[in-house]
Homo-oligomer: A and B are copies of this chain.
Amino acid sequence: MKELGNAGITSPLGFKANGIACGLKKSGKPDLALIYSLVPATAAAVFTKNAVKAAHIMVDAKHLQSGEAQAIIVNSGNANCCTGARGIKDAQLVVTELAASLEVLPSRCLMASTGVIGKYLKTEKILAAIPQLIKGLGFDGSDAANQAIMTTDKFPKQATVRFLMGKKTVTIAAMAKGAGMICPDMATMLCFVTTDANISLPGLRKALKLAVDASFNCISVDGEMSTNDSVFVLANGLAENKLIGTSGPGFEQFCAGLTQVCLKLAKMVVEDGEGATKVIEMRVEGAATQAQAKQAALRLANSPLIKTMIAGENPNWGRIPAAIGAAGVKMNPDKLSVELQGKTVYQNSVSKVTDLDILVPLLRSKDIVIRVKLFSGKYSQTMWASDLTHEYITINTEYN
Contact = CB atoms under 8 A, between A and B. Distances in A.
B303 A397 contact: no
A291 B324 CA distance: 23
Interface string A313-348: 011111101111111100101101000000000101
Given A390-B390, A393-B389, A82 B321 contact: yes
A391 to B, nearest CB: 9
Given A223-B304, A325-B227, A397-B308, A333 B118 contact: no
Interface string A46-86: 00011111000000000000000000000000010111110
B318 A185 contact: yes
30 contacts: A51-B325, A51-B326, A52-B322, A52-B333, A79-B318, A82-B351, A83-B351, A84-B334, A87-B349, A117-B319, A117-B321, A118-B346, A118-B351, A185-B318, A185-B319, A185-B322, A222-B305, A224-B303, A224-B304, A224-B305, A224-B322, A227-B321, A227-B322, A227-B325, A308-B396, A308-B397, A309-B396, A311-B397, A312-B397, A356-B399
A79 B351 CA distance: 14
A312 B118 contact: no
Nearest to A225: B326
A398 interface: yes
A340 to B, nearest CB: 12
A284 to B, nearest CB: 13
A117 B323 CA distance: 12
A111 B155 CA distance: 54
A186 interface: yes
B399 A393 contact: no
How many A residues touch the partner, as a band?
A: 35 or more
Contacts of A322: 50, 52, 81, 117, 185-186, 224-227
A244 to B, nearest CB: 34
A388 interface: yes
Contact of A309 (B82, B302, B333, B397): B397
B117 A52 contact: no
A354 interface: yes
Interface string A116-137: 1111000000000000000000
A305 to B, nearest CB: 5
Interface string A207-246: 0000000000000001111110000000000000000000
Contact of A186 (B302, B319, B327, B389): B319
Contact of A304 (B81, B304, B334, B336): B304
A349 B80 CA distance: 11
Given A326-B50, A393-B390, A314 B84 contact: no
Interface string A346-384: 101111001010000000000000000000000000000
A314 to B, nearest CB: 4
**Residue with the greatest number of chain B CB neighbours at <10 A, chosen from A117, A317, A324:** A117
**Residue with the greatest number of chain B CB neighbours at <10 A, chosen from A116, A334, A390:** A390
Contacts of A186: 305, 318-319, 322
Nearest to A188: B322
A81 B117 CA distance: 45
Given A84-B350, A336-B52, A349-B84, A224 B323 contact: yes
Contact of A308 (B319, B328, B393): B393
Interface in A274-318: 302-305, 308-309, 311-312, 314-318
